[in-house]
Structures are given as structure tokens and as C-alpha cells.
């Protein structure tokens, strides 16, 4: 008899979603972490969401995850990024109070049924015939469980760098689990090394706020989670400052002391989020870089200067910071540093994040080469739901590139691997017009309901919301004559003729609310759902065009390449193509087309052979 159906190791963002997700599915779940009080801790900048990332938060939320609710509970600053662009790329982002965020995560985790919290260090996996059978803690306790999910972050061979200083361990102040790491190395998993960094923290009392332009929280009362009724915390300002020539001079004079340039770190860092020394080195002609000063909480003076991640020596960090407007007297409380760590090549994982080499072992979060809370949480959710579903004989939500950013990320990771820490971007999603942060519930909650991972509160909320859908949809079929609109000074031609509300909202300069005079229903009721339907209408012609493409995609998704598909026997594949396909093991023909470097010719060779192989099987 097993002690647990699913055991999750690590209480970071990935671990919390994995554990709660598995428990929501009804699996008997355990969550093991070094320090139960650290569950829900935000290791770095307490900001959640942003471009691409906000989509992930909303999707995790739509599947009844924890992240969105905790973000709202901690939020002290809301900002919708990209608001001037089309709504499909709006990026909801909040600045959270660390303590409040963590308290909410703790509350949810403790309230979650079917979930046991275990404090301890996971020391070794117990394996039977190569598959997972359980987990041994450092104190010798053994738990039997057929499925274990590793959400241990950077614990694998992490080293910290600051100037000439070195530390071992995941994050400052944490030890790393060496035995477990050794076990994974023995399994000969493909591994690689990446680096990331963090900026110095500044004491907010030493900042001259009055000298700096402010960035207020958004007035619109949106929230991260669909279940949050409204904003709960007082909202604070962020401020904006810039690096100066003097900051740059200090950096330039000391570049050789940065581990990034001295050669101490040679792992790849994120191109989209370079350290300040990298920016100065690569874009030397810039006279300044923008820096957001983001308060870390309501009851702390710590301020996170977003944009100056660095591993320069402490004295240079001081010099650089103090050369910026408003920071002349700034005191650094905790200097910035860089981390280099090992991660598992995610191509070793199946689409449900299970390691092919060790059945029953799942990996989620930074251990897979991603960066960010949202990316970690989304993977945790997938691993948790999949592991539970597998154990319970159920099916996890059917996610694919056309219905979620989550699937885009998992597909990218498991097929393409990573060459820099993977961060979500909207441009990674080819069907992003249909994947809006605003319609995540519509896209995913029904799938969650089918899978059985949605709790009562959200089920009720969703049913109530859907009840109005048909009625509201009918509003968009009403016909209105251009004369009416023109007479009301809306920017349309009088002779435009009769058009449906759907068509009118596609016009530049016409919003649904402008049409209220001719619509009986009160458009301020159900505003959220109406906004979603209006966006659907606005994008409809583009979405219709994608249909053929999606049919193609689904057809080639339908041509399965089983796990033992003999890529090396496909005639005409070059050894390079065979190697790429064999390490990515695409599960379908469509997936094979997304493996990097796979040529059209290789794809058609594969197609011809796969069809023959399927026919023979």
C-alpha cells in the first residue's frame, strides 16, 4: 500500500501548484519541503504577471490554481502592460507584498484537503526496477509513492557569484540537497548549466521619492484571479529613475571584476533580461537605462530596482546606484548577485513532464531550465494534474498550443529544449489572438471541470457566468444603421449601411459602450463577459482565417509517433535530423515539425514513413 499517490518535493511556486493541483484531482498528496514556513516565499522580485507571464497566471487561475488568488491577496500595485495595443497582448502585472502573498499561499495550502505537508529534506528517491517507488528523507523516513514530482528549483549544483566572491547553494541562506542531486546525475540525465541574476535591494527610506516621476497603480479595478471580488490592499506608487553616464562609467571601469566577464560564469543567461553590465557592454551608445523602483511590501522598506540585475562587486554596485537620480543617498540592504545552476534538459521529459528515463518521476519549474514564478507555477500545475490523473485513471485537461500558453511552454520546452533560461513571451504563441489573458476562464475552466480539478467556489462562479452567455451573445447580432451612429457623432460614414453590433465593434474608434443608446440591455452589467464577447467579435475575421491552419495542425497532431518510433530507420533522414528527432522524441508529426532545425524535406520523409509504419502496426 502506498503512503501517497503523489509526492511533491519543494514548496516553491511549482511545488505549491503541483501539490494543490494533484490534491484537487483527489489524489492523496504529500508536499515535502525544507521549511514549511518558507512555502509561498517569493525569492526575488515580488512582482507577478507581465507580458506573456500574466497569461500564465490567468490560465493557472482558470484551472483553479493558487497563484492568481495569492497575487491579489498581496497586490499593492496593479498595472496592465501593453494597454495601448490589442487586448490579446495585454499583460496584467501586480507588485505584491511578500508577507501578504505568502500568508495567502499558506492559507490555501493548509485549507487544501487531501494534502499532507511534510517538513524535511528529500534525500533520495527509492526506485524499483528503474521506476519511482517512493522517497527517502534526510532523517531516514521513507514514504512510498508511485509518483514523485521534483520542484526543487536551483538546488542542482547552484553557485552564487558576486564580484570576486563565491557561495555554494541555491539561494543565499539555503542549503542544497546533494544526495538527491547525485542520484539524478547517476541516472545520466542530460543536464546543462544556466545563469540568472538579481539586483541589489535598496532601503526605501533612503530614496528621494519626491525627485522621481511616479507610476501609480491602474485605476481600473481588474484583478488577477477571476475569483477575487475586488482589490483588498492600499495601493502604492512605483517610481522611475535611470542609470546615468556616471553609473555606466563605474560599471565600465569594473567590468573585469564581474564574474560574467572574468570568465568565472560561462553559462548562458537570458537575452531578454540581461544584467546591467551586459547592457552597458552590448549597447554602449545608450546614455541611460530605465529603472523601476518597486516597493517590496507595505510593512517593509525594501525596494526592488527593476532593471539593474548585477553581479558586480558590492563597492561598484554602490557607485552605480548612487549615480542615479533620486538615489544619491541610497543604502543597499542586500547586494545583487548572479546564480549559476544545473538544469535538466527538458527534452528528456514527456509532454506531461515525466522523465522518460525514470518512469514516475516528474520535473517542474526552474529545474527544467525556465525562469520566473509564473512559468514554474504553470509547469507545477501540469505535472500535478498529470501525475494525479495517471494514478487515478483519469485524464488531465487537454491542453494544446491553440488553447493555452501553458501548452505552448510545455511544447517548447519538451521539443526544443532551452539555450537560455526560458521565459514566456506572447510571440511564442502563434495563436495568441485566441489566447487572451482575458478569456482564460472561457478557454480552460471547462477543460478543468471535465478533468475534475476545479473546486466548488469556482464551479459555481463559472456556472453563473456562463448562464448569461447566450443572452449576451445575441446582443452582437443586432443590426444598427450607420445613420444612427453618425447622428450620434460616432466616427462612421453615414452611408455605411446596416451592420451588426459585432461588425461595428471592429471599427476603429467604436467601443461596445458607445452603442448603448440602441441596445436595451444594460451594458454595465456583466461587463467582463461583454468585454470578452466584444474582443471575440473584433478578432473574429482573423480567427476565422486560422481555422484551416488549425485543421491542418490537428490532422498532423493526429499522426502519432509512438515512443519507440524508429527515427533512425526513416529513409532519407540525415544523421543530424535523426539526432535532433531522437533527442526531442516528438510525440506527433506536428510536434516533429516544431523541433528546431527540422527541414521540410525531413518532415515529409517522416510523414511518408510514419504512414507506412502506422499501416503496418
| Strand blocks (E) in 296-433 | 302-306, 332-334, 337-344, 361-363
Task: Count CB-CB contacts under 10 A for residue 521.
Answer: 15
Q: What is the b/e burial string over 531-560, where b = at least 16 CB atoms within 10 angstroms of the residue's CB?
A: bbbbbbbbbbeeeeebeeebeebeebbebe
Q: Is 163 in the site for ligand FAD (CB under 6 A)?
A: no
Q: Which one of ligand FAD, another protein, none is in contact with 38 (Cβ closer than 5 to 8 A by kind)?
A: ligand FAD
Q: Is 287 in the site for another protein (CB under 8 A)?
A: no
Q: Is 14 in the site for ligand FAD (CB under 6 A)?
A: yes
Among 4, 34, 78, 539, binds ligand FAD (CB under 6 A): 34
Q: Is 571 in the site for another protein (CB under 8 A)?
A: yes
Among 165, 166, 245, 283, binds another protein (CB under 8 A): 283
Smallest separation (angstroms) from ligand FAD to the CB of 119: 9
Which residue, 603, 531, 548, is CA-closest to 87? Answer: 531
Q: Is 45 in the site for ligand FAD (CB under 6 A)?
A: yes
The DSSP-derived string for 534-594 is HHHHHHHHHHHHHHHHHHHHHHHHSSB--TT--GGGSTT--HHHHHHHHHH--SBHHHHHH
Q: Which one of another protein, ligand FAD, none is in contact with 466 (Cβ closer than 5 to 8 A by kind)?
A: none
- Of residues 174 and 466, the one with the C-beta less far from ligand FAD: 174
Q: Tell me if residue 294 falls in helix, strand or coil.
A: strand
Q: Is 11 in the site for ligand FAD (CB under 6 A)?
A: yes
Q: Is 32 in the site for ligand FAD (CB under 6 A)?
A: yes
Q: Is 441 in the site for ligand FAD (CB under 6 A)?
A: no
- Of residues 430 and 579, the one with the C-beta less far from another protein: 430
Q: Is 503 in the site for ligand FAD (CB under 6 A)?
A: no
What number of chain residues touch ligand FAD (CB under 6 A)? Answer: 35
Q: What is the b/e burial string over 400-409, where b = at least 16 CB atoms within 10 angstroms of the residue's CB?
A: bbbbbbbbbb
Matching residue, cell 527515427: 567
Binding range to ligand FAD, per CB under 6 A, among 12-20, 73-81, 264-272, 432-440:
12-20
Among 7, 9, 308, 447, binds ligand FAD (CB under 6 A): 9
Are 73 and 45 spatial neighbours (Cβ–Cβ below 8 Å)? no
- Of residues 115 and 224, the one with the C-beta less far from another protein: 224
The DSSP-derived string for 206-224 is GS-GGGS-EEPPPSS---S
Cα→Cα distances 54→65, 198, 326, 406, 552, Å: 14, 21, 30, 11, 29
Q: Is 311 in the site for ligand FAD (CB under 6 A)?
A: no
Q: Is 121 in the site for ligand FAD (CB under 6 A)?
A: yes
**Alpha-carbon gap, residue 21 to 237, rounded angstroms:** 34
Smallest separation (angstroms) from another protein to the CB of 277: 16
Site for ligand FAD, residues 357 to 376, rule: CB under 6 A:
365-366, 371-373, 376
What phi and psi, each to the nearest 5 degrees, are found at residue 215?
Answer: -125, 105
x-marked contacts with another protein along 11-50 as a string, rule CB under 8 A: ---------------------------------------x
Are 323 and 246 spatial neighbours (Cβ–Cβ below 8 Å)? yes
Question: How many residues are present in the chain?
Answer: 617
Site for another protein, residues 173 to 232, rule: CB under 8 A:
none
Q: Which one of ligand FAD, another protein, none is in contact with 437 (Cβ closer than 5 to 8 A by kind)?
A: none
Q: Is 86 in the site for another protein (CB under 8 A)?
A: yes
Q: Is 493 in the site for another protein (CB under 8 A)?
A: no
Q: Is 602 in the site for another protein (CB under 8 A)?
A: yes
Which residue, 201, 194, 307, 204, is CA-closest to 247? Answer: 307
Which residues face 238 on adjacent strands?
Answer: 215
Task: Count CB-CB contacts under 10 A for residue 143.
Answer: 21
Q: Is 152 in the site for ligand FAD (CB under 6 A)?
A: yes
Q: Is 444 in the site for ligand FAD (CB under 6 A)?
A: no
Smallest separation (angstroms) from ligand FAD to the CB of 137: 8
Among 155, 362, 431, 539, binds ligand FAD (CB under 6 A): 155
Among 2, 193, 281, 289, binds another protein (CB under 8 A): 289
Matching residue, cell 561598484: 316
What phi and psi, each to the nearest 5 degrees, are found at residue 129?
Answer: 45, 45
**Which conformational region is residue 292 in: left (phi greater than 0), alpha (psi within -120 to 50 degrees), or beta?**
beta
Q: Is 516 in the site for another protein (CB under 8 A)?
A: no
| Positions in the binding site for ligand FAD (CB under 6 A) | 9-15, 32-34, 38, 43-45, 121-122, 151-155, 171, 174, 177, 180, 196-198, 339, 365-366, 371-373, 376
| Positions in the binding site for another protein (CB under 8 A) | 50-52, 81-82, 85-86, 88-89, 91, 272, 283, 286, 289-290, 307, 425-427, 430, 432-433, 508, 542, 545, 549, 552, 555-556, 569, 571-572, 574, 593, 599-605, 607-608, 611
Amino acid at each position: 500500500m502506498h503512503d501517497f499517490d503523489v509526492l511533491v518535493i519543494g514548496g516553491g511556486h511549482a511545488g505549491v501548484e503541483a501539490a494543490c493541483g494533484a490534491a484537487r484531482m483527489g489524489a492523496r498528496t504529500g508536499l515535502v519541503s525544507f521549511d514549511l514556513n518558507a512555502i509561498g516565499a517569493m525569492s526575488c522580485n515580488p512582482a507577478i504577471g507581465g507580458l506573456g507571464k500574466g497569461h500564465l497566471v490567468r490560465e493557472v487561475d482558470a484551472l483553479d490554481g493558487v497563484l492568481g488568488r495569492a497575487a491579489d491577496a498581496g497586490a499593492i500595485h496593479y498595472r496592465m502592460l501593453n494597454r495601448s495595443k490589442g487586448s490579446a497582448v495585454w499583460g496584467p502585472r501586480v507588485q505584491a507584498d511578500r508577507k501578504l502573498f505568502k500568508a495567502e499561499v499558506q492559507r490555501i495550502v493548509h485549507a487544501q484537503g487531501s494534502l499532507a505537508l511534510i517538513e524535511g529534506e528529500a534525500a533520495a528517491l527509492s526506485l524499483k526496477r528503474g521506476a519511482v517507488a517512493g522517497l527517502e528523507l534526510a532523517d531516514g523516513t521513507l514514504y512510498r509513492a508511485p509518483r514523485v514530482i521534483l520542484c526543487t528549483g536551483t538546488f542542482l549544483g547552484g553557485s552564487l557569484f558576486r564580484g570576486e566572491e563565491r557561495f555554494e547553494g541555491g539561494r543565499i541562506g539555503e542549503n542544497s540537497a546533494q544526495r538527491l542531486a547525485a542520484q539524478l546525475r547517476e541516472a545520466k540525465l542530460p543536464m546543462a548549466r544556466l545563469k540568472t541574476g538579481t539586483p541589489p535591494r535598496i532601503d526605501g527610506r533612503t530614496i528621494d521619492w519626491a525627485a522621481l516621476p511616479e507610476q501609480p497603480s491602474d485605476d481600473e479595478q481588474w484583478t488577477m484571479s477571476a475569483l477575487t471580488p475586488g482589490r483588498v490592499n492600499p495601493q502604492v506608487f512605483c517610481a522611475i529613475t535611470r542609470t546615468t553616464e556616471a553609473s555606466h562609467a563605474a560599471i565600465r571601469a569594473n567590468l573585469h571584476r564581474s564574474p560574467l566577464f572574468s570568465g568565472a560564469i560561462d553559462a548562458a543567461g537570458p537575452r531578454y533580461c540581461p544584467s546591467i553590465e551586459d547592457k552597458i557592454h552590448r549597447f554602449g551608445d545608450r546614455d541611460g537605462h530605465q529603472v523601476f523602483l518597486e516597493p517590496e511590501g507595505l510593512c517593509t522598506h525594501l525596494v526592488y530596482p527593476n532593471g539593474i540585475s548585477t553581479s558586480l562587486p558590492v563597492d561598484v554596485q554602490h557607485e552605480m546606484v548612487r549615480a542615479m537620480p533620486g538615489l544619491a543617498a541610497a543604502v543597499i540592504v542586500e547586494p545583487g548577485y548572479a546564480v549559476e545552476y544545473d538544469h535538466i534538459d527538458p527534452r528528456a521529459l514527456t509532454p506531461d513532464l515525466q522523465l522518460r528515463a525514470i518512469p514516475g518521476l516528474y520535473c517542474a519549474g526552474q529545474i527544467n531550465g525556465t525562469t520566473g514564478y509564473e512559468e514554474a507555477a504553470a509547469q507545477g500545475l501540469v505535472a500535478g494534474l498529470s501525475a494525479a490523473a495517471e494514478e487515478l485513471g483519469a485524464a488531465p485537461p487537454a491542453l494544446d498550443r491553440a488553447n493555452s500558453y501553458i501548452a505552448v511552454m510545455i511544447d517548447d520546452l519538451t521539443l526544443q529544449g532551452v539555450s537560455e533560461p526560458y521565459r514566456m513571451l506572447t510571440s511564442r504563441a502563434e495563436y495568441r489572438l485566441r489566447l487572451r489573458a482575458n478569456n482564460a476562464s472561457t478557454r480552460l475552466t471547462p477543460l478543468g471541470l471535465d478533468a475534475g480539478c476545479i473546486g466548488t467556489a469556482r464551479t459555481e462562479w463559472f456556472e453563473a457566468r456562463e448562464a448569461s452567455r447566450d443572452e449576451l451573445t445575441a446582443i452582437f447580432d443586432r443590426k444598427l444603421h450607420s445613420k444612427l451612429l453618425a447622428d450620434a457623432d460616432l466616427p462612421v460614414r453615414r452611408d455605411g449601411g446596416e451592420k451588426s453590433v459585432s461588425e461595428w465593434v471592429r471599427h476603429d474608434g467604436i467601443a461596445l459602450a458607445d452603442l448603448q443608446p440602441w441596445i436595451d440591455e444594460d451594458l454595465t452589467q456583466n461587463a467582463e463577459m461583454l468585454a470578452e464577447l466584444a474582443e471575440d467579435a473584433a478578432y473574429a475575421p482573423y480567427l476565422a482565417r486560422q481555422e484551416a491552419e488549425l485543421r491542418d495542425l490537428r490532422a498532423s497532431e493526429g499522426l502519432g509517433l509512438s515512443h519507440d518510433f524508429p527515427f533512425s530507420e526513416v529513409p532519407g533522414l540525415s544523421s543530424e535530423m535523426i539526432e535532433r528527432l531522437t533527442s526531442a522524441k516528438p510525440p506527433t508529426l506536428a510536434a516533429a515539425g516544431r523541433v528546431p532545425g527540422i527541414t521540410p524535406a525531413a518532415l515529409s520523409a517522416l510523414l511518408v514513413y510514419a504512414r507506412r509504419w502506422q499501416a503496418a502496426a
